Structure formats: C-alpha cells, structure tokens
Chain A
Amino acid sequence: MSELIRVENLTKRFGDFEAVRDVTFTAEAGSITALLGPSGSGKSTVLRMIAGLETPTRGRIWLGQEEQTHTSVQERRVGFVFQHYALFRHLTVWQNVMFGLAVRRMSKRERRARVEELLELVQLGPFRDRYPDQLSGGQRQRVALARALAPRPNVLLLDEPFGALDARVRQDLRRWLDNLHRELGVTSLLVTHDQDEALELANRLVVMREGRIEQVGTPNEIYNEPATPFVAGFVGSANVLHGHVIDGHMEFGEHRVPIANDLADGIDARAFVRPHDVRVRAGGSGGGSGTARATVERIVTLGWLSRVVLRLGDGQAIVAELPSDELCDVGLGDVVAVDVRRALAFRASDVGRLAEFASVES
C-alpha cells in the first residue's frame, strides 16, 4: 500500500491562538483514517487545511504524489462532506449531485450517467427531485456523500459526518458507510469526537488534543496500548485508581495489581482499569495476587450487561462491567472478591487533572 495523504509539521495559528501544532501523519491508499479528539482539539482545522479551505501557517501537505500545500481548493479535487452537509438549498438532490460534474465541464451524457449511478449507490433515486429541506437528516447525509463522491475525488474528507443525527440513524449510516467504503475503496479521512464511530469505521486513528497529536495507531493499539493517560481516558471508559508502583505492580491500599507497562518503583501513579477488565466473585475469600475485597454499592442492569459500583477497602470506588448472569448471587452490600485482569499505570504527575475527565461516570 502507498501513502495517499501525508501531512508534515502542520501548524495553524489564528491570531495568538495556536489551533494546530506540528501535526504529522499519513493515511494509506484505500484506508479510513479517523482524526479523533474532543471538540476544540484542532481536528477539523487539520481536515480543512488538507482540503485547502484553510491555509496552514506552517507545514506541508501531500495528496497522492504531489505536494498540494499551496494549491487552491479547486485544484485539490477532494471530496468533502461538511458537518451540517452544506447542501445547496435551492437545488434538488439531482442538481446537488450534478454540481461538481457541471462545474468541471463533464459532457452532459456522462454527467447524467454518473449522477444516476451515485443516486443508485446512496439509494436516493426516488428522491432526486426533492429539495434538501424535504429530506430527513440521514437522507441529507447521503446526498452530501453522493455529491462529494460524484467527481471521483482521490480522497474523501468527512467532517463529523454523523454529528447532527440521532443515535439510531447514526448506527445505520455508520454501517452503511462502512459497506460503501469496502465497495469503493476511496481513501477517507474522518473527523469525529465519537470514539465508537472512530473505532468501528477506521483502520487507523489519529488521536488529537489541544492541537497536537497524542497517538497514532490501529484501533486495537489505541484501545489496548494507549500511549498517554489522555488516550487511555478518552478512548473507552476507564477507572482511575490512585496508588504507588512497586515491583511491576500497582499498589493501592492493601491491594496489588500487575501493570502492563514499566514504571519506576515507588512513584506516585494512577492506574487506568477498563470496567470489563474487573471481575467480581461472590464471597470475599480466595484469589491470589491481584485479588481485592470490595463492597457492592450499586448495581445497574443494562440488559445483558450490568454495571457494578464497588467500594474498595481504602475507600476508592471502582466500576465493573460484566454479563448480568454472572451476577446472580451478588447483592447490594455484599463483600465480594475483585480481580483486576489488566491495568495501565501512568505517572500521577502526567495524569493531573485529566483523571477526573477520564474516570468512569458512576
């Protein structure tokens, strides 16, 4: 595979505010890459610079074999799906999709065939004569996609493409987009603040915070081997436990849990524990290292899954998520045995105030 999008040391300053700082990453041909981060992390600005809608203060951009840092929007031939779709309100679905072909002076017959083909693809054939405000949110989304794809762009850039939709439609469209991508194979760059969306759709994630890249990796790497406490907390939920590192273990209160990464002995640290990595057994006895005792404070049943809030001996709360049927002999106020299968520790000074942000809402 070859790299189709490459950005190097991209920096954007708006007045005194540095929205993007030294961002470097590549996206391979045919892949979906997600720029993931909370709002204000600069991910949309990166996308807009790649499209040519914003001029970088510093840094370079390549699309395919050519450097495009200084070319105009029109020359870059990217497909862009805007956050609120930006459909042309005075044009019908058909005319919207046609627009990019008409301004590029494609022959009439070719144009018609291409629009036809795309409306077929996004399953909007019967709606061709409607105006944007006669469509549902999901339909508008698909028109926006068809319009962006019509001129056969080399890359597809999507700015929070599902942000304005409700949860159910979002799910459907996500699956649909995934299939569409398999079918077309167009290199895509997706901006989102929704980790589920990024994990489900993308081959690669670029996690951003405050204008910088925190980590680049596959969904698996990002989820299981977060490089920074921010990534650990932002992608997937995590318990944050206070303690010390001793001999490759995290010690909090009277308990010790093996940690996956290396930290120097004796330092003040925070352990990030995924709720599904916490096991609960009835009867507070047994178990070896890594087993602790805790009191059940709350049980929330979410269908097949249950969320249990536990209070450890040293007063810290920890949330466990486990199949509901494993909980049948556990009740409120019981003292249970808690197994932490996996934990990642970070230096407390690195975690700082992020801990509050990352901890599981209980």
Chain B
Amino acid sequence: MVSAARATGRRWSLSSRAAARLRHRSLRAAAVVYLGLMIALPAAVVIDEGFARGLSDLRDGLAYPGAAEAVWLTLATSTAAAVVNAVFGTIIAYVLVRFRFPGRRLLGALVDLPLAIPTLVTGVMLVALYGPASPIGRALEGAGIEVAFARLGILLALLVVTLPFVVRAVQPVLLELDPAEEEAAETLGASGWTTFRRIVLPAIRPAIAAGALLVFARSLGEFGSVVIVSGNITGRTLTAPVLIFQLASQFKPEQAAAVASVLFAISFGTVLITTRLARGRRGGQP
C-alpha cells in the first residue's frame, strides 16, 4: 500500500514535471511564433526587398526623383524635433517635478495627451489652427511665416507627436535625485544655475539623450500628422514616409522598399543606441 502510494506519487511528480516542461516549451513557442509572424517576418520582407541586390538598391532608392530630398528633409526635421523637445522636455520635466503651482496636475496630463490623440488628428488640429482657413494662419502668412503646407508645419507636427518622450524619460530620474545633493552643492557655494548645470544636468543627461533619440527615431517614421500638415510638395515638403506611401500606392513596391530600407537602417541604429544608453544608465557605475 505504502510503496504503491509512493510509486504513484513519484510517477505523479515525474509526469507533472514533464507537464511543466511542456507548458514552458509551448508558451515559449507561442511567444516566438507570435513575435516571429507579427514582427520579424514583415521586417524581413522589407529588408529583403530593399537590399535584394545589396547596397545598389539603396542607391536606386535615393535616385528616385525627390527621394534624396525627402530623406534629407526627414533627417533635418527629425533632428530639429529632437533638439527642441530635448530642451523643452527637460524644462517641463523639471517644472513638473520641482515646482508646486496650481494646474500642475493638468500640465502633467496635457503632456500625455499626444500619446492618446491619433497622429492624424494632430495634423488636422494644426491645419485647423495654422492653415489658410483660419485667421491665425492667414495672419502668420501675412507676417511671412508659413506653417501649414510648409516645413515649419512638419516640425510642429513632429514636436506635438513626440512631446511626451523626453518629459517621461527625464521625470522619473529627477524624482529619484536626492534633493540633498543640490543642497550640498549650495552649501559649498554653488549658485542655482551652477547647481543645475553641474549636479542635476549630469544626472539626467542620459535620460535626456535617450528621450531625444526616441524623439528622433519616432520622427523619422511619423506619417499621420505630417501627411496632413506638410502639403506633400515633392522636393520641398515631401518627407520619406509620405514618399514611401506614394510609391506604394502607385504600385512601385520595390522603390518604396528601397526608401523604407534607408529609413529603417537609420532608425534601427538609433534604437540600438537608445537601448545601449538605457542599459548604461541602469548598469553604469557599479
């Protein structure tokens, strides 16, 4: 009796261990298949089409009329967006963390708004306000400042869409900073600005960089807001993602893939740097 029970017990434990292993394996398989089908496969097909004949395809992609200009415009506006939002994102994060004022909650919520608002709607909003149909847009145009259907409009759209990134990257790091470090700097004679520059800034610099790179990467691919606001004038306000869309809808998938590959190569590099930075921050000085 006893030995039989023990025997079944053992068989039980064996089979349950096998079951556990099976469960683990099947879950892992599900994860691999899901990510493989949903992400790896589409990425692979673009890279395959884009680089089918090696780097010459890339050159062909850029050789298409307006393609090089589009890529340059995308790079330039994305860089500008990264810089501007790095500065303002840092200021906003600092104000949100360090100052107490009425409406602080609201300001914090507003920063998250672009995460929720469809990017296309962002574009529509900008056109509604700064476009030729609005008095503000006409007034700006009269003053020689073109927003809608111009490069400034593209920049504005990118700034809105990527607004949360730097703020949300910097905020937790600022919160974690020990205010005593700043007080220590002050007792040692450092002014407010010196304290910020030498104590606060070095601590949040990796976060600012990570946020700015995220802004850059996201801006490279931004479509919804830009397609509405830019006017898509070839050679002037046509960005790379919009060009890819145009090529794809004109049934020129090879050319589209070539441009997409250029874009992908740049943004993938950026994301790699970002994750490296994030890891550096966490594991950094041991």
Contacts and interface: CB of A to CB of B under 8 A. Distances in A.
Complex contact flag A–B (Cβ < 8 Å): yes
Given A82-B180, A82-B183, A100 B285 contact: no
A73 B187 contact: yes
Given A89-B181, A89-B203, A80 B286 contact: no
B199 interface: yes
A91 B185 CA distance: 12
Contacts of A250: none
A148 B194 CA distance: 17
Contacts of A151: 188-189
Contacts of A91: 202
A151 B186 CA distance: 12
Contact of A134 (B187, B198, B286): B286
A147 B199 CA distance: 15
Interface of A: 51-53, 73-74, 76-80, 82-84, 86-91, 99-100, 103-104, 131, 133-134, 147-148, 150-151
Interface string B177-195: 0101101111111110010
Contacts of A79: 187
A12 B9 CA distance: 71
B286 A88 contact: no
A74 B191 contact: yes
Given A99-B198, A131-B285, A133-B285, A86 B181 contact: yes
A9 to B, nearest CB: 24
A100 B188 contact: yes
A84 B180 contact: yes
Given A80-B183, A82-B180, 16 more contacts: A52-B187, A79-B187, A83-B180, A84-B180, A86-B183, A89-B203, A90-B202, A90-B203, A91-B202, A99-B188, A103-B191, A103-B198, A133-B286, A134-B285, A147-B188, A151-B188
Nearest to A75: B189
A114 to B, nearest CB: 13
B82 to A, nearest CB: 23
B189 to A, nearest CB: 5
Q: Which of A78, A88, A100, A104 counts the most chain B CB atoms within 10 A?
A: A88
A84 to B, nearest CB: 7
A74 B186 CA distance: 6
Contact of A82 (B184, B189, B194, B285): B184
A134 B199 CA distance: 19
A286 to B, nearest CB: 60
Interface residues of B, number: 19
Given A88-B199, A133-B286, A78 B180 contact: no
Interface in B157-212: 178, 180-181, 183-191, 194, 198-199, 202-203
A103 B188 contact: yes
A53 B183 contact: yes
A53 B187 contact: yes
Given A99-B190, A103-B189, A103-B194, A80 B202 contact: no
Interface in B121-180: 178, 180
A53 B286 CA distance: 31
A86 B189 contact: no
A86 B184 contact: yes
Interface in B37-95: none
A88 to B, nearest CB: 6
Contacts of B180: 82-84, 86
Contacts of A131: 285
B16 to A, nearest CB: 44
A128 B132 CA distance: 63
A150 B184 CA distance: 13
A121 B186 CA distance: 24
Contacts of A150: 188
Nearest to A76: B187
13 contacts: A74-B189, A79-B187, A83-B180, A86-B181, A86-B184, A89-B203, A90-B202, A91-B202, A99-B185, A100-B189, A131-B285, A148-B187, A150-B188
A309 to B, nearest CB: 44
Contacts of A134: 285-286
Contacts of A87: 181, 184
Nearest to B183: A53
A316 B131 CA distance: 90
Contacts of B203: 89-90
Contacts of B198: 99, 103
A126 B190 CA distance: 27
Contacts of B184: 80, 82, 86-88, 147
A70 B285 CA distance: 40
Contacts of A89: 181, 203, 285
Contacts of A103: 185, 188-191, 194, 198
Contacts of B285: 89-90, 131, 133-134
Contacts of A148: 187-188
Interface string B83-118: 000000000000000000000000000000000000
Contacts of A77: 189
